[in-house]
Amino acid sequence: MNGILYLIPVPLGDESSPSEVLPESALVILREVKEFIVENEKSARAFLKSAGTKIPMPELILHPIGKHISPVEMNSYLNAAKKGATIGLLSEAGCPGVADPGANIVRFAHQAGIKVVPLVGPSSLLLALMASGLNGQEFHFHGYIPIDKSERAGFLKHIERETKKYGTTHFFIETPFRNNHMLEDLLKSLDNGTKLCLACDLTLPTEYIRTSTVSDWKINPAPDLHKRPTVFLIGK
């Protein structure tokens, strides 16, 4: 009989403790799990320690998902679950499988007949959408958008047209050290009447969320977004 793969959310920043953003039911489960698939071993151990794992650190089994890991090796990380064990999948921040390489692990688990159980926890994408006041019925998440200036400008105008025509909310993320450049490009590319939401440092003490028209952002600038995890949303 196959085991279970728990999808375990992780706080969105070091300033939040697991008990602040994860329900006790999720903490009870993860404290008993011995084997995990992770993005980074060091940060995963720090999270598990802060979450109060009952397993001694030397006994934890961690499988890192590196950039160059092969599908065969990734699939092998599920061997214990294929034999009936319970294992966990951790993201670096937020929910595994959402804008996260863990999606491949989940796909392999389904193919192997392993039970997949998502646990409740923070998702910066859903929190941003909830707080934006933009259309939460029809939305499209794009992940990272083009880096090239001309391609980016064309892409932004395209999704702006989609927003105007259908009312769809479009949102995306950027590498945090390029956030300010992203905002500059948005203000240059979008029409003044388009709604833009910046959702920054979600769940952290420095959390900043504001939805305004592009023209208003030009008059009342945003704070410095450099190296602060931010979700960008545009809508009607």
Query: Could you tell me which of 139, 193, 147, 191 has the C-alpha nearest to residue 170?
Result: 139
DSSP character string of the chain:
---EEEEE-B-SSTTS-HHHHS-HHHHHHHTT--EEEES-HHHHHHHHHHTT-SS-GGG-EEEE--TT--HHHHHHTTHHHHTT-EEEEE-SSB-TTSSSTHHHHHHHHHHTT-EEEEPP---HHHHHHHHH-S-SSSEEEEEEPP-SHHHHHHHHHHHHHHHHHH--EEEEE--GGGHHHHHHHHHHHS-TTSEEEEEESTTSTT-EEEEEEHHHHHHSPPPP-TTS-EEEEEE-
What pLDDT is attached to residue 82?
96
Q: What is the mean pLDDT of each run of 10 residues along the chain (236 residues)?
A: 93 88 94 96 95 95 89 94 97 90 94 96 96 97 94 97 97 97 97 98 96 98 96 97
What pLDDT is attached to residue 220?
97
What pLDDT is attached to residue 16?
82
What pLDDT is attached to residue 100?
87
Residues 82, 186: Cα–Cα separation, whole Å: 47
Residues 137, 19: Cα–Cα separation, whole Å: 30
Homologous superfamily (CATH) for 4-118: Tetrapyrrole methylase, N-terminal domain (3.40.1010.10)
Q: What is the pTM of this model?
A: 0.92
Give me the CATH code for the 124-235 domain, please: 3.30.950.10
What pLDDT is attached to residue 15?
82
Q: Which residues contact 179 (CB under 8 A, 6 or more apart)?
A: 225, 226, 227, 228, 230
What pLDDT is attached to residue 67?
78
* Domain ranges, ordered by start, for the chain: 4-118, 124-235
Q: Which residues contact 204 (CB under 8 A, 6 or more apart)?
A: 12, 13, 15, 16
What pLDDT is attached to residue 1?
74
Structure tokens at 184: 């500059």
What pLDDT is attached to residue 8?
96
What pLDDT is attached to residue 48?
96
